[in-house]
Amino acid sequence: MIFITAKFKVKPEHADNWPEITAEFTQACRDEPGCLWFDWSRSVADPNEYVLVEAFRDGAAGAAHVQSDHFKKAQQWLPPHLAETPRIVNFEIPQDDWSRLGEMRVPEDS
The pLDDT of residue 110 is 63
pTM: 0.91
Q: Taking Cα atoms as reference points, which of 87, 78, 89, 75 lies closest to residue 11? A: 78
Q: Which residue ranges of the chain lie beneath pLDDT 70? A: 110
Output the pLDDT for position 108.
85
Domain 2-93 of CATH type 3.30.470.20 = no
Whether the CB-CB separation of 5 and 93 falls below 8 Å is answered with no
- Residues sharing a CB contact under 8 Å with residue 64, sequence separation 6 or more, in sequence order: 32, 34
Residue 65: alpha-carbon gap to chain centroid: 12
- The DSSP call for residue 11 is -
Q: Which residues make beta-bridge pairs with 70?
A: none
